Chains A and B, each alone.
Chain A
Amino acid sequence: EAQVTQNPRYLITVTGKKLTVTCSQNMNHEYMSWYRQDPGLGLRQIYYSMNVEVTDKGDVPEGYKVSRKEKRNFPLILESPSPNQTSLYFCASSPTGGVNGYTFGSGTRLTVV
């Protein structure tokens, strides 16, 4: 089944403890992206990647890192999480990111205390 697999679904962590949210797609998509969703705000892009080893900042990249060493994986790294990073995170992929629809992962609800 074509899908974007995101883990974990839920995570509660403490301020400053490094964490990684994994994202993997099995559709050979070139484009992958991370979003965060907060109440009253639309989906905001954190980082995106056009292809392997090609990543770029979105609208809200501060406090996050990403890597794209393989086409299928696009992990989101929070080196030192803070409470303002408590949010619902989505990974999405698309064949090329242009006129193709995005396939979303199931989301990760992160709470930083």
Chain B
Amino acid sequence: ILNVEQSPQSLHVQEGDSTNFTCSFPSSNFYALHWYRWETAKSPEALFVMTLNGDEKKKGRISATLNTKEGYSYLYIKGSQPEDSATYLCASNAGNNRKLIWGLGTSLAVNP
């Protein structure tokens, strides 16, 4: 059974802090790694889809890296703002391009 694990489960930071979370996934038969941002009472919104080992993607203050050989991805938020408060989900469709396996998410709260 494929498992995607995220840590930490939750995180509280102060406005202006930089932070990062981890997503680990099985490295065999890797296909793609997805990151989503999910605000309360809204639906998940795609941030990044990464496929290449060593890939790094950036969107504003948020960036992500990928290590497919060891099976992990980091999501970084630079200078956190209250509007960054959300649950960040990662998902992998390793070995099967039709199906994503989702982690449980990291819940981020940014205090003003």
Q: Which positions in A face B, CB cutoff 8 Å?
A: 31, 40-45, 48, 50, 56, 58, 90, 96-107
**When the two chains form their complex, are residues A104 and B43 in contact, meaning their CB atoms are under 8 A apart?**
yes
Are B32 and A99 in contact (CB-based, < 8 A)? yes
The contact sample of 7 A-B pairs, CB cut-off 8 A, is A43-B44, A50-B98, A98-B32, A100-B49, A101-B34, A101-B36, A107-B43
Least Cβ–Cβ distance between B55 and chain A, in angstroms: 11
Q: Is B103 an interface residue (CB 8 A)?
A: yes
In the complex, the answer to whether A42 meets B43 with C-beta atoms within 8 Å is no
Closest to B35 in A: A101
A43: chain B residues within 8 A (beta carbon): 44, 89, 91, 100, 102
Q: Which residues of B contact A56 (CB under 8 A)?
A: 98
Q: Which residues of A contact B36 (CB under 8 A)?
A: 101-102
Alpha-carbon separation in the docked complex, A43 to B89 (Å): 10
> What chain B residues lie within 8 Å of A42 (beta carbons)?
4, 89, 101-105
A24 to chain B, nearest CB (A): 15
Q: What separation, in Å, do the CA atoms of A107 and B43 have in the docked complex?
A: 7
Check A31 against B98 for contact (C-beta < 8 Å).
yes
Residues of A within 8 A of B103 (CB): 42
